[in-house]
Chains A and B, each alone.
Chain A
């Protein structure tokens, strides 16, 4: 099992990246941002390797239980961060995003999460597993970016920062929303239809994805049609990410339903 040491190395790199980013907040020196990005990127490369190793060892997609999907989600958030950073150069959001990532990886590593790769139950044996889960989690990763930029918007002390955070927040939703709609809702419906013969069953996971989707639909309508920007937009994006998080996490532990995998 080469995956475990790889995963540990990934964890350490992400913690160091988070610390470097935090150093910007305290020292105000931009070089810490470059170091943080380098560490996060190195962690991302190793994380990619760890996911590939797991895929080859288990013979199935690396997101079939909570441990795997937490690992994949944190990978997706780092990917979303690297992409957003290439475009907007905002190391400041790295501090918060990497803290979320470290939290998720810590949760994945905790003894509460069974780590062994289990063979797939019949319902999960489908290529839709790849399409549905990976695209949904990638969409949720961009919602996480919007979440962090919305918090930073609310805490910002200058109009320049506010404008930037508002713009990045919108760009993240503009990427996350199409991915979530396609991967989470549409591919989920297609798969449910193929596996169970019913594209929609009002299962709690389905309903919570719909709620998440409604919140981001609200975000887009208030912003594009009614011209809401700034504070109110930021609050809706916060609520949207929390709904996505509950869809991903809360539903499994608090509500019972069909979607009992992860």
Chain B
């Protein structure tokens, strides 16, 4: 037990772990993380199996990486705990009495005589140190008195506060990992979706994309209503960087998507023999629209794909959700009789694949197509976040204390000598020794003259 403790109390272990952790982290940025197995097979060939075996494809969540973090945390706990009691005593409970010989051995020290009784010197020195913002304790004795003056005592504990903060951050990370939950919501205007593991639903009332004059996206604004038990609870507009929090869940705007489920299309009908003839109709998929012509009374659209491609089974598919090759399957009707059906392409207006029906001099052009925009939201509950912010605060405060709040300690022993009081003083500082030396000397000069 003892040897385990001393193993983890070693700073050398901390240094080794920091180095290994740094190298491991580098590896994880060189290998793309969290991709599908096929990706690694294509990129690394036969090495893919090795990468997967060593968990290098999900390195930051792998058992060995987390074990490294765990050991570093344990190391931090043990190192901090084994040094803390001593430092705590140093800061908050040091003995007021000092040995003159020990003070005389310090680098920051002073010796002089004072023509006044010990008790008088003790009182005036204590008052002078208090006026220099020191916290002063003193012990009066028959022939010898002691003064202990301290300043910025918390500075002794700066690094311990940083370490405590880092442990709190790690705890926050564990809580986030175990109890955190996030889900993707894709909502079209008017749609409502339940947020899993919550008691409420979210309805998208309005979704708007704002653009800059240059055409870049300026903002996505989703006006959402939180619905709980069938009743609307609150309505708020959320944007990127302006999330909404309700009952532990936070709703984030992360982007938008285009849906081609119910697009609005515009189709122009022309006649090859009659260049002046043009009829434009607007319709959705599954709808019929009147053309009001003797040759073709109505047209309908039975399917739309944004990125037309002939798939492996020679059926029509879409390659992506991007409108790269938008095409519609159009049917033409003369009364109850279907006179043709075929695909038309927005990018290739002259290319028609008419299949059935009577020979016709009609032509169809897919003039425009509008998918419906939907809002992409993220709903997240992260019970670890508060711990993270607490830890971050401690880390910041601790770093500030460690670097810029150097503790000072001045010890003085007053001895009754022949006709005067012998003063032996010494100073201790963990950092900024040069500044302290100057402060100590000017203080001593003023004490000597007082």
Q: State whether the Cβ of A249 lies closer than 8 Å to any Cβ in chain B.
A: no
Choose the segment among A104-112, A145-153, A206-214 that binds chain B (4+ C-beta atoms closer than 8 Å). A206-214
Does A182 lie within 8 Å of B241, measured CB to CB?
no
Given A186-B396, A197-B382, A218 contacting B18 (CB threshold 8 A) = yes
Assembly CA distance A207 to B24 (angstroms): 10
What distance in Å separates the Cβ of B131 from its nearest Cβ neighbour in chain A?
29
Which one of B15, B382, B399 contacts A218 once the chains associate, using CB atoms below 8 Å?
A: B15
**Nearest CB in chain B: distance from A196 CB, A:** 6
Q: How many whole Å from B222's CB to the nearest CB in chain A?
A: 12
A197 to B379, CA, bound (A): 8
List, in ascending order, chain B residues with CB within 8 A of A202's CB.
28, 33, 60
- Inter-chain contact B396/A119, CB cutoff 8 Å: no
CB-based contact A197/B392 at 8 Å:
no
User: 0/1 per residue, B207-231, Cβ < 8 Å to A?
Assistant: 0000010101111100000000000
Which chain B residue shows the least CB distance to A125?
Answer: B241
Kindly identify which residue among A200, A207, A217 contacts B25, using a CB–CB cutoff of 8 Å: A207
Whether a CB of chain A sits under 8 angstroms from the CB of B240 is yes
**Contacting pair B29 A207 (CB below 8 A):** yes
Please classify how large the interface on chain A is, using the bins under 10, 10 to 19, 20 to 34, 35 or more. 35 or more
Shortest distance in angstroms between A176's beta carbon and chain B's nearest beta carbon? Answer: 11
Q: Pick the contact of A221: B18, B388, B389 (CB < 8 A).
A: B18
List which B17-68 residues lie within 8 A (CB) of chain A: 18-19, 21-22, 25-26, 28-30, 32-33, 60
Chain A residues with CB under 8 Å of B214's CB are 118-119
Decide: B240 and A123 in contact? CB cutoff 8 A.
yes
A125 / chain B contacts, CB cutoff of 8 Å: 219, 240-241
In the complex, B264 has a CB within 8 A of chain A? no
- Check A197–B403 contact: CB distance below 8 A: no
* Chain B nearest Cβ from A180, distance in angstroms: 10
* Contact digits for B232-265, partner A, Cβ 8 Å, 1 yes 0 no: 0000000111010000001011100000000000
Is B400 located at the chain interface by the 8 A CB criterion?
A: yes
Chief secondary structure at chain A's binding surface = helix
Least CB distance from B250 to A in Å reads 6
Q: For residue B253, which residues in chain A have a CB less than 8 angstroms away from its CB?
A: 122
Cβ–Cβ contact B252 & A197, under 8 A:
yes
B173 near A122 with CB under 8 A, answer no
Chain A residues closer than 8 Å to B399, beta-carbon distance: 177-178, 181-182
**Roughly how many angstroms separate A79 CA and B25 CA in the complex, as a whole number?**
32
Chain A contacts for B243, CB-based, 8 A: 194, 197
* CA A210 to CA B28, docked complex, whole Å: 12
Looking at the complex, which one of A186, A215, A221 makes contact with B22 (CB distance below 8 Å)?
A215
How distant is the Cα of A6 from the Cα of B301 in the complex, in angstroms? 61
Chain B neighbourhood of A1, CB < 8 A: none
Q: Does B328 contact A (CB under 8 A)?
A: no
Residues on A with beta carbons closer than 8 Å to the beta carbon of B395 = 181, 186
Task: Compute how far the CA of A182 lies from the CA of B403 in the bound complex, rounded to whole angstroms.
Answer: 14
- Say which residue of A199, A208, A210, A217 sits within 8 Å of B388 (CB atoms): A199
A-B contact pairs, 12 of them (CB 8 A): A119-B216, A122-B217, A128-B241, A181-B396, A181-B399, A189-B392, A195-B252, A197-B382, A211-B22, A211-B25, A226-B11, A251-B29
9 closest A-B pairs by beta carbon, nearest first, are: A122-B240, A197-B380, A126-B241, A202-B60, A119-B212, A197-B252, A204-B29, A214-B22, A186-B392
